[in-house]
Amino acid sequence: MITPDQLLQTLQEEIEKNSYGDQPKELYEPIRYLMSLGGKRFRPLMTLMAASLYTDDWQKALKPAQAVEVFHNFTLMHDDIMDCAPLRRGKPTVHEKWNANTAILSGDVMLIRAYDLLMEVESDRLKKALMRFNTTAAEVCEGQQFDMNFETRWDVTEAEYINMIRLKTSVLLGFALELGGIIGGANGEATSLLYEAGVSMGIGFQLKDDLLDVYGDPKKFGKQVGGDIIANKKTFLLIEAVGRAKGSVKRDLTHWLSVKEFDKSEKVKAVREIYDTLGIRTFTEQKISEYFTKGFDCLERVAADPARKAPLMGFVHQLVEREA
């Protein structure tokens, strides 16, 4: 049976073959540039592994799996413009390397190319795949808008935040697994369970990212620890802290959220201590565990040959245990 590493290698080779288009080069070079920056590729890999649960002909999922990855990178290209982000995976973002107008237009073409790749789904399963993709794509946009709305609010609730990350990041992971099931020929119950597994895992991964930004090992995390604290980014941890803080703890937190000039390391240390005082780390870890447990439970309930399911379960366990 083919391993996740072998699937990933094949997937990467196929991604590198894609040209997306030739002329004008100013339109297509930014796409090739962004796609060449790499990434974990675990969304399209999960599509392939989900398809392989039900068919030996997993190659027929290669192009649709790439649709998931191209769409994901399309959202990153546009998100970077909205966030005024200078770097993506350690390299200049497309709007910085070229300009915002080019990034918008190249992103638009990426969305079109994602549809081209998705059209490779077999005809009897294509309508369902397209309908589910359209729903997912709209939800990702909804999540991004909620995230932008939250930038000017300090009364964001835990439920609102969970819903935002579910839409912005998690539904695409759910679709990636569901798409593999659709291509492989799984029944409706199995594809629904695959989707729910991906959504739950996706929420767990985002909460873990929030946690690692505060408590992660800088050598393993791959970026500055405490970046969210420095930027006053409304993460799960900060939302919980704002809701729980009272008295002197609330005054201290308000100070660090409002101060304009500060020593970065001092602010990170002070806010981390506030989180510790309020039990935010333990609470967040419990939430992460709840969502991962729900995801694994859904995967366990998916009707498929246990031997075929083992590589997917092992891969997901590796993702859950990551510290970067």
Structural domains in the chain plus CATH codes: 4-321 (1.10.600.10)
Mean pLDDT of 286-295: 97
State the pLDDT at residue 324: 58
Please give the model's pTM, rounded to 2 decimal places. Answer: 0.93
Mean pLDDT of 226-253: 94
Q: What is the DSSP string of 108-171?
A: HHHHHHHHHHHTTS-HHHHHHHHHHHHHHHHHHHHHHHHHHHHTT-S---HHHHHHHHIIIIIH
Q: Is 222 left (phi over 0), alpha (psi -120 to 50) or beta?
A: left
pLDDT of residue 265: 92
Query: Is pLDDT of 129 > 90?
Result: yes
The SS3 call for residue 189 is: helix
Residue 220 has pLDDT above 70, yes or no: no
Helix or strand run (H / E) with residue 201: helix 188-215
Q: How does DSSP assign 8-33, residue by residue?
A: HHHHHHHHHH-----SSHHHHHHHHH
Give the residue-averaged pLDDT of 260-281. 95
For the segment 311-315, the average pLDDT, to the nearest whole number, is: 92
Give the DSSP letter of residue 53.
Answer: T
Q: Which amino acid is at 12?
A: Q
Distance CA 162, CA 248 (A): 28
In this model, does residue 298 exceed pLDDT 70?
Answer: yes
Residues with Cβ within 8 Å of 128's Cβ and at least 6 positions away in sequence, in order, are 182
Which residues fall within 8 angstroms of residue 266, CB to CB, at 6 or more apart?
Answer: none
pLDDT band at 217 (very low <50, low <70, confident <90, very high): confident
Q: How confident is the model at residue 39 (pLDDT cuts 50, 70, 90)?
A: confident
Sole residue written with tokens 């835990």: 158
Report residue 323's pLDDT band, with 50, 70 and 90 as the boundaries. low
Strands 87-88 and 91-92: antiparallel
Compute the distance between CA of residue 249 and CA of residue 244 in angstroms, rounded to an integer.
9
Pair 77, 34: CB distance under 8 Å: yes
174: nearest Cα among 209, 146, 135, 202 = 202
Instruction: Give 178-207 pLDDT, tens digit per residue.
Output: 999 999 999 999 999 999 999 999 999 999
Compute the CA torsion angle 130, 194, 324, 86 (nearest 10 deg).
Answer: 20
pLDDT tens sequence across 130-172 = 999 999 999 999 999 999 999 888 899 999 999 999 999 999 9
